[in-house]
Amino acid sequence: MEYRYKPQGVCSYEMIIEIEEDIIKKVTIQGGCAGNTVGVSRLVEGMKIEEAIKRLKGIPCGMRGTSCPDQLALALEEIINKR
């Protein structure tokens, strides 16, 4: 199933997440720092949703209080809550 998330407080403007059962199959992050967003996306592919949340939630970017990885964790939490 494909989910779309609009991150807040970061440079990226959309996250497209493909989930199969509780496994992250693919993540595409539009906008943001390309090297970082592609790297994070590839690292979480094949990972269980709960594990990705545990690893990414709370990571800040500068003084923003959030980051693309943190926003991805929030998106994944939203997916779990909608199920």
Helices (H), the chain: 34-44, 49-56, 68-82
Query: Considering only the top CATH level, what class is 2-82?
Result: alpha beta
- How many Å apart are CA 80 and CA 50, to the nearest integer? 9
Q: Is residue 23 very low, low, confident or very high in pLDDT (cuts 50, 70, 90)?
A: very high
Write the burial class of residue 23 (CB in 10 Å: 0-12 exposed, 13-18 middle, 19+ buried): middle
Residues 6 or more apart in contact with residue 22 via CB below 8 angstroms? 48, 49, 50
Per residue in 31-54, pLDDT (tens digit) is: 999 999 999 999 999 999 999 999
Residue ranges per structural domain of the chain: 2-82
Q: Which of 64, 68, 78, 8 is nearest to 39 (CA)?
A: 68
Query: Per-residue pLDDT for 68 more than 90?
Result: yes
Q: pTM for the full model?
A: 0.96
